[in-house]
């Protein structure tokens, strides 16, 4: 991506018909740490890599609960992500107040996309620099959507965004055909494997990742660090038995709270099977 004379303003087209500012905003998403999502017919799992800047600081929150039936994982400018999460929470609350019914996730993502589009067509605004993986339920089942800064949204069976997401995407491409009928636990396991791919060699442990689940009969919640570490350990043992690539199971670490407990992972014994 090179600088050129058409990229100063979001409202300036290039001769080739591109809006460079919007494309630069999408670059910001690629710089953020990885977030992945996958779904079956009844459940959706979100996961993200959560590395703190230094040992002294806490994680940045990248997964937000929007409502009992909707959650979002972000990659990119996390501040923009926080603001959009607040918007989504407001929309859900208002809809629930008027109709006593959960806002269908399909409608929320359209509202979100329209909000992002506005920022691509006003000279005094800039596009949101964050990609959102929205996981939620509505009448037709479980859904996973990706909202980008351009104002587009797509529905996915599984997806990954952020830095080193290509490795995770490759893994998901191998697995996605079987996802629809996966059990909830298998889905979480696949999420952890995908996160591990995005870590590329680094040991997977619950202190550096976060996993959240939503499903039919299961409100959106972030899995606590111990649960995640246990799942990682379970895979680890299975991984050793299977042979090569001792993959650390992507532990869905929790944000902040996880960090304090994270330093004890050396002492965690493998789970007895």
Partner 1 sequence: MQFTASKQTENCLLGPESDSQRTLYPYVTGTSVVALKYKDGILMAADMGGSYGSTLRYKSVERMKPIGKHSLLGASGEISDFQEILKYLDELILYDNMWDDGNSLGPKEVHNYLTRVMYNRRNKFNPLWNSLVLGGVKRGEKYLGTVSMIGVNFEDNHVATGFGNHLARPILRQEWHENLSFEDGVKLLEKCMRVLLYRDRSAINKLQIAKITEEGVTISQPYSLKTYWEFSAFENPTQGAVGSW
Binding site for partner 1 (CB under 8 A): 97-101, 104, 106-107, 110, 138-140
Least gap, CB of 138 to partner 1 (angstroms):
6
Judged by beta carbon, residue 2 or residue 97, the one nearer partner 1 is: 97
Distance in angstroms (rounded) separating the CA atoms of residues 255 and 64: 10
Judged by beta carbon, residue 81 or residue 102, the one nearer partner 1 is: 102
CA dihedral 134, 156, 176, 132 (to 10 degrees): -30
Least gap, CB of 191 to partner 1 (angstroms):
26
**Tokens 């999460």 belong to residue:** 85
Least gap, CB of 97 to partner 1 (angstroms):
8
Least gap, CB of 71 to partner 1 (angstroms):
19
Judged by beta carbon, residue 67 or residue 249, the one nearer partner 1 is: 67
Q: Is the dihedral of CA 259, 265, 269, 270 positive or negative?
A: positive
Judged by beta carbon, residue 101 or residue 123, the one nearer partner 1 is: 101
* Beta carbons of 137 and 69 less than 8 angstroms apart: yes
**Tokens 């670490």 belong to residue:** 253
Distance in angstroms (rounded) separating the CA atoms of residues 37 and 78: 17
* Beta carbons of 123 and 9 less than 8 angstroms apart: yes
Least gap, CB of 39 to partner 1 (angstroms):
16
165: Cα separation from own chain's centroid: 11
Judged by beta carbon, residue 55 or residue 139, the one nearer partner 1 is: 139
Least gap, CB of 218 to partner 1 (angstroms):
20
Judged by beta carbon, residue 107 or residue 125, the one nearer partner 1 is: 107
Judged by beta carbon, residue 100 or residue 266, the one nearer partner 1 is: 100
Least gap, CB of 106 to partner 1 (angstroms):
5
* Beta carbons of 123 and 149 less than 8 angstroms apart: no
Nearest CA to 30 out of 204, 231, 187, 165 is that of: 165
Least gap, CB of 33 to partner 1 (angstroms):
32
Burial class (CB in 10 A: 0-12, 13-18, 19+), 43: buried
Judged by beta carbon, residue 139 or residue 266, the one nearer partner 1 is: 139
Nearest CA to 63 out of 190, 212, 224, 180 is that of: 212
Nearest CA to 195 out of 64, 36, 68 is that of: 36
* Beta carbons of 148 and 29 less than 8 angstroms apart: yes
């Amino acid at each position: 991506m090179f600088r050129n004379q058409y990229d100063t303003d979001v409202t300036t087209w290039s001769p080739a018909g591109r809006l460079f500012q919007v494309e630069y905003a999408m670059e910001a998403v690629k710089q953020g740490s990885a977030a992945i999502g996958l779904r079956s017919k009844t459940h959706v799992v979100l996961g993200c890599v959560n590395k703190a800047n230094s040992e002294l600081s806490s994680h940045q929150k990248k997964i937000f609960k929007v409502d009992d039936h909707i959650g979002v994982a972000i990659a990119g400018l996390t501040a923009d992500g926080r603001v959009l999460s607040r918007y989504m929470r407001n929309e859900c609350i208002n809809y629930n107040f008027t109709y006593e019914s959960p806002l269908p996730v399909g409608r929320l993502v359209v509202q979100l996309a329209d909000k992002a589009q506005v920022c691509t067509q006003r000279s005094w605004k800039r596009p949101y620099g964050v990609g959102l993986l929205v996981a939620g339920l509505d009448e037709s089942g479980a859904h996973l959507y990706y909202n980008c800064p351009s104002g587009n949204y797509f529905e996915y069976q599984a997806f990954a965004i952020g830095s080193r997401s290509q490795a995770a995407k490759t893994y998901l491409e191998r697995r996605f055909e079987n996802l629809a009928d996966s059990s909830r636990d298998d889905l979480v396991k696949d999420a952890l494997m995908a996160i591990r791919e995005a870590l590329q060699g680094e040991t997977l442990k619950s202190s550096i990742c976060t996993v959240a689940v939503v499903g039919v009969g299961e409100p959106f919640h972030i899995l606590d660090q111990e649960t995640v570490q246990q799942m990682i350990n379970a895979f680890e043992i299975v991984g050793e038995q299977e042979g090569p690539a001792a993959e650390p199971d992507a532990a869905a670490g929790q944000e902040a709270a996880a960090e304090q407990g994270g330093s004890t992972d050396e002492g965690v014994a493998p789970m007895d099977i």
